[in-house]
């Protein structure tokens, strides 16, 4: 597609439920980032992939958060045993190379944990 696609657009989860958020980057983009944007805050870095390799996961808040990109294209962010503080917009971004020039964000998935 022409842009970064994220699904679902909205997700409501009961506390304790597991969720999976999907990101389809622009075709051919090497770099893929996940960010978390809490209400009223700026996005915060979660994790970074270069192709299928997860090179940095220092921003993942706890071991309940897990991300993968097994074939170097589509990525999934999984949150186990969701808690209310996980409620946020999860943004995915991709870039053609490993530099900052072609950084494109998706529209995000809004997760609400009730």
Partner 1 sequence: AQSVTQLDSQVPVFEEAPVELRCNYSSSVSVYLFWYVQYPNQGLQLLLKYLSGSTLVESINGFEAEFNKSQTSFHLRKPSVHISDTAEYFCAVTSTGGFQKLVFGTGTRLLVSP
Q: Which residues bind partner 1 (CB under 8 A)?
A: 4, 31, 33, 35, 40-45, 48, 50, 55-56, 59, 91, 93, 98-100, 103, 105-108
Nearer to partner 1, 9 or 81 (CB): 9
Closest distance of CB 62 from partner 1, Å: 19
**Closer Cβ to partner 1, 18 or 56, answer by number:** 56
d(CA 8, CA 28): 22
**Which CB atom, from 1 or from 14, has the smaller least distance to partner 1?**
1
**Of 97, 99, 100, residue with least CA distance to 26:** 97
Give dist(CA 39, CA 31) in Å, integer.
Answer: 26
Q: Is 90 exposed, middle or buried (0-12, 13-18, 19+ CB in 10 A)?
A: buried
CB of 69 to partner 1, least distance (A): 14
């Amino acid at each position: 597609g022409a842009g970064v696609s994220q699904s679902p657009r909205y997700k409501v989860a009961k506390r304790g439920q597991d969720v999976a958020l999907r990101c389809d980057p622009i075709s051919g983009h090497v770099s893929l980032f996940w960010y978390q944007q809490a209400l009223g805050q700026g996005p915060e870095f979660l994790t970074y992939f270069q192709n299928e390799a997860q090179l940095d996961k220092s921003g993942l808040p706890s071991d309940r958060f897990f991300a993968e990109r097994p074939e170097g294209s589509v990525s999934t962010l999984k949150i186990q045993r969701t808690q209310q503080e996980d409620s946020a917009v999860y943004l995915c971004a991709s870039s053609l190379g490993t530099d900052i020039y072609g950084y494109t964000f998706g529209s995000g998935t809004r997760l609400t944990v009730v």
